[in-house]
Amino acid sequence: MSKEFVEVLKELFPPFSNTTKENLKKLITKHAENPSFIFESSIPQEIRQGDIVTNIPFQTLYEGDEYLGKRLSGMMISTTCDFEHEKTVLFAPGYDIDVFKECFGEDPDKLRDLRNNAIYDKFYLPAYLGVSELIIDFNGINSFSVNYIKEIISKKTSQRVSSLAQNGYYYLLCKLTVHFLRPEGNEILRSDIIS
Amino acid sequence: MNGAMLVDIVYSGTYLETAVIGKLLEQGVVTPSAYLPNDFDIVLAASNVLRRNELNDSTASIEIKEENYNIILENGWISFAVSLFPNARYFTEGEQEAFEGYKRKHFKRFKLNL
């Protein structure tokens, strides 16, 4: 990478200082385990990014031409604006914590890592107002038409059961950033943009 | 800035604003206050003030001059988000296989002819 381009990048994307990072980290992590820090106390009228909707049919092309599918609660990953302006939106499936208890035999270390949001592609949400603990799987994202989502909600075959408060929303953005945008390791070799 | 100035601010915002406020915190322009429920709310509320100022919104209740902060874009945000999860890891191969095994056992199998 050329020196000039590095300078352009530095100017465009000045890094956080360590002090800033530490201050913000304290602000977020201090409250992250408190459900009232994460969720709205009531569901807003309009669907928003991070909302949980029940009974969504997720599927994955598994092997050959065979799919695996199941109805699960899902989190809207698309932005709130996308739901208003686009024809399709993205939802990530959510799994009850019991699923992972079955997988891991209630291994306390593995469940702790999930609950601490230490797994890159999983977003843990604590139980709140009758909704049980959920693990959102960013690697299981499916696309749905906006009209379909509106229809299943209006016909009450699905329900919006939780919505993120401002703090929870920022927490989601952090997890999405870490999963999708964290810098690649040095072992990934790419050609320079400017030679 | 003090809590009284922030009480009436309606929260909204973007991650970019949080990054900007991080800089303000660092520089001591914004400080936590007992007037709002928690420190993070202060950050978000203050970020709104910033946005209003940038839009020349007359409802902004304080003025933060441009020279008091630097706009920090995506690189700062990514760096911050990654730092929040210092022990982040992938599922181990065994964990992955257990999760996939759960799906093979409990999910419906079907074929689509596209």
ipTM for the complex shown: 0.82
The pTM score is 0.71
Q: Is A156 left (phi over 0), alpha (psi -120 to 50) or beta?
A: left
Considering only residues 52 to 111 of chain B, which have any Cβ-Cβ distance to chain A shorter than 8 Å?
70, 72-85, 87-91, 95, 98-99, 101-104, 106-111
CA distance B24 to B26: 5
Residue in B23, B81, B108 closest to A20 by CB: B23
CB spacing of B109 vs A68 below 8 angstroms = yes
In this model, does residue A91 exceed pLDDT 60?
A: yes
CA distance A168 to A75: 13
Surface-to-core class of residue A14, CB atoms within 10 Å of its CB (0-12 exposed, 13-18 middle, 19+ buried):
middle
- Residues A128-155 have pLDDT tens digits of 988 999 999 999 999 999 999 999 999 9
Full DSSP string of A34-99: -HHHHB-SS--SS--TT-EEEEEEEEEEEETTEEEEEEEEEEE-S-HHHHHH-SEEEEEEEEEHHH
Confidence class for position B12, pLDDT limits 50, 70, 90 = very low
In this model, does residue B6 exceed pLDDT 70?
A: no
Backbone torsions φ then ψ of A144, nearest 5 degrees: -135, 150
| Distance from the A157 Cα atom to the nearest Cα atom in chain B, whole angstroms | 19
CB spacing of A23 vs B22 below 8 angstroms = yes
Q: Calculate the average pLDDT of chain A.
A: 85
> According to the per-residue pLDDT averaged within each range, which of A66-70, A189-193, B76-80 is highest?
A66-70
CA distance B24 to B47: 9
- Residues B60-112 have pLDDT tens digits of 333 333 333 333 333 456 666 776 787 889 999 999 999 999 999 999 999 98
Residue of higher predicted confidence among A34 and A59:
A59
Q: Long-range CB contacts (< 8 A, 24+ apart) of B57-61?
A: B61/B5, B61/B6, B61/B8, B61/B9
CB spacing of A68 vs B18 below 8 angstroms = no
CB spacing of B84 vs A178 below 8 angstroms = yes
Nearest CA in chain B to A116: B85
Q: For chain B, how far is it from start to end, CA to CA, in angstroms? A: 61
Q: What's the mean pLDDT in A64-91?
A: 95
pLDDT at A159: 96
Partners of residue A13 in chain B, C-beta under 8 Å: 72-76
Looking only at Cα atoms, what is the longest distance across chain A? 59
- Residues A163-179 have pLDDT tens digits of 998 778 878 888 898 89
Element (H, E) at A19: helix A18-29
CA distance A8 to A143: 36
Partners of residue A121 in chain B, C-beta under 8 Å: 90-91
Q: For chain A, how far is it from start to end, CA to CA, in angstroms? A: 6
Q: What's the mean pLDDT in B5-33?
A: 44
CB spacing of B81 vs A178 below 8 angstroms = yes
Residue from B79, B111, B114 whose CB has the most chain A CBs within 10 Å, to mutate: B79
Surface-to-core class of residue B89, CB atoms within 10 Å of its CB (0-12 exposed, 13-18 middle, 19+ buried):
exposed
CB spacing of B75 vs A13 below 8 angstroms = yes
Q: Is B15 touching A (CB cutoff 8 A)?
A: yes
Backbone torsions φ then ψ of A74, nearest 5 degrees: -140, 155
Q: What's the mean pLDDT in B45-54?
A: 53
Closest by CA to A117, choosing from A93, A129, A135, is A135
